[in-house]
Amino acid sequence: GGGPNGGAPAAPAPAGTSRVCFAAFTAWLLGNVATVRELREEVLPRLRVVGPVVPLPSGDLLHWTIDDEREHVVLEYLDGEMRLHNNTAARRSPCLSTRLRAAARPLPTRPGPPRARQVGAFTNDPDFTWHLRNLNNFANLSPDWPKGGERITVQSEVGALPHAVGHGFNLLGLPGDASPPSRFVRLFFQRQYAVLRAPPASLNESLSLAIGLLSSVFISQGTVASASPAAGFELTQYSVLKLPAARQFLFRDYASPRWRRVRLGELDFAPRAGASARSLPVGDGTLGVEDVTAKLG
């Protein structure tokens, strides 16, 4: 059959190929593969992800963002063929992913100017290379104060014009809707400009930048039109910050802006006979608002 993104049927799989259902692929990957390098060199040559040959009922096609402390890649099927894309961002810039929930991976900083090797952003369908080419449509954006009118300035009854009145005009044309292509563009350019102009000097500053960027693509329930009443509304169900090098995982739910942290290095993941699965609810049922009235009394 075809790969999860449909199209032509894939070629026959070689002997010894592992077949994994697309719905279980994420859990299988976490339980069987230690690094992106292992995935690329040892696993993918003998892996077949089995899935629908047409889009899901939601209309979405499938691809996965996979990262460790060194690399970030995108895996997708197009016309029944598996494709792996390098998406490793600069060591100084957060690597961002957004689906119905947004995810980011801030990395430790290093001295010297940031140099992005790849775009380091990720959102839903269309396919990844479509998103890459779409960035070219916004080459007019700039990290600098707009000065395009200086050579044609004229005097008028309201003064010299045209000139920028207020801040933010360097981002004029940055798409603001909630579609995957627009979120991809917004994350890429805002991240690049922030790292260029005010590069994070610490892990906490990287986290602050990532949180701010994620807020710019947050989807409030009811704001995005639904294709049918049965489909429900798209929203940012939860947000995630992943720190692979520090072995930390931060998350928050839709209702609360309060982040919670899990120190993965302090947990024992060794399998034990009879042990039950451990889990935490994404939300704690509150808005995360602290009442500080008593501190002012």
Per-residue pLDDT band for 270 (boundaries 50, 70, 90) equals confident
CA 82 from chain center: how many Å?
21
How far is residue 121's CA from residue 89's CA, in Å, rounded to a whole number? 8
Per-residue pLDDT band for 191 (boundaries 50, 70, 90) equals very high
pLDDT, tens only, 197-235: 999 999 999 999 999 999 999 999 999 998 777 777 789
**Mean pLDDT computed over 184-188:** 96
Per-residue model confidence (pLDDT) at position 11: 56
Integer angstrom CA distances of residue 220 from 112, 223, 230, 232, 283 = 38, 6, 18, 13, 16
Q: Where are the alpha helices (DSSP H) in 112-256?
A: 128-134, 180-197, 203-215
Integer angstrom CA distances of residue 212 from 104, 191, 286 = 11, 10, 21
pTM here?
0.81
- In the structure, how many helices (H) and strands (E) does the chain have? 5, 12
Per-residue model confidence (pLDDT) at position 41: 92
- Cα angle vertex 114, ends 110, 116, to 5°? 120
Min mean pLDDT across 95-99, 163-167, 230-234, 239-243 is at 95-99
SS (H, E, C) 59-85: CCCCEEEEECCCCEEEEEEECCEEEEE
Per-residue model confidence (pLDDT) at position 271: 78
**Mean pLDDT computed over 107-125:** 60
Per-residue pLDDT band for 52 (boundaries 50, 70, 90) equals low
